[in-house]
Amino acid sequence: MNILMLGCGKTGSLVAEVAREHGHSVKTLRALENPEGTALTPERLRDIAVVIDFTTPQAVIKNIEACVGAAATIVVGTTGWYEQLPRIKQMVKEHDAALLYGSNFSIGVNLFFEASKAAAAALHHRYSGQIFERHHTHKKDAPSGTALSLQKIIAESAGNALEITSFREGEVIGMHELILDSPHDRIYLCHDSKSRRGFAEGAVRAAEWVVGRKGLFDFREVWKQM
């Protein structure tokens, strides 16, 4: 299928590479070619099966609005925009479009989410909890979208909004930790990314899955179907 890739950073470039390995045709649109999403016209998107966005929090909303406005299908790996989800959800419905988003497309991270959801029961038994996340110094948003998703999962499971502590150091790809502590023991759950390959594989699988569907989808809720 024809894929339009937005974002030529380390992860975006790897997503494009993996998509080509899967047999897809990939075109790339760089930021300078697409100010404020203006290059995402209905004409450009007509022959595109799915757009994949790994840009920046500053650029992503305009890209989403342009794609949804053209009733196109878009997969969004960029984070830092989720406060606008209610508005975007309504827009997707009005335009009969498809948008699949995820704070993290790694299967391992989503398994980590499930383990953390189960462990959150400890907060009902006099445990305290904290979330720590570490990323490279170039990451634009803090806390990370993954950490915020983890915080939301714990809050939904146990009613406690745990504090997130963020670190930006070196070239750390991504480490997320959940610590649940009591006077008697400590539960420690950690996901440590060794490469961006897991993110890229998940994003391509998401793109393959969402084509032909309509609506707003959260990768965390649909990854098992892929």
Q: What is the 3-state secondary structure (H, E, C) of 76-87?
A: ECCCCCHHHHHH
DSSP-derived letter for residue 194 is S
Contact, 106 vs 193, CB < 8 A? Answer: yes
Distances (CA, A) of 150 to 2, 44, 75, 110, 199: 33, 36, 20, 10, 17
Q: Which amino acid is at 150?
A: L
| Bridge-based pairing state of the strands 73-76 and 50-53 | parallel
Active-site residue, from 22, 24, 139, 152 = 139
Told to judge if 139 belongs to the known catalytic residues of this protein, a careful annotator would answer: yes
Contact, 174 vs 146, CB < 8 A? Answer: yes
What sign does the CA torsion over 97, 103, 104, 107 have?
Answer: negative
Told to judge if 135 belongs to the known catalytic residues of this protein, a careful annotator would answer: yes
Distances (CA, A) of 207 to 63, 80, 150, 157, 219: 16, 20, 23, 29, 11
Q: Which residues are catalytic?
A: 135, 139
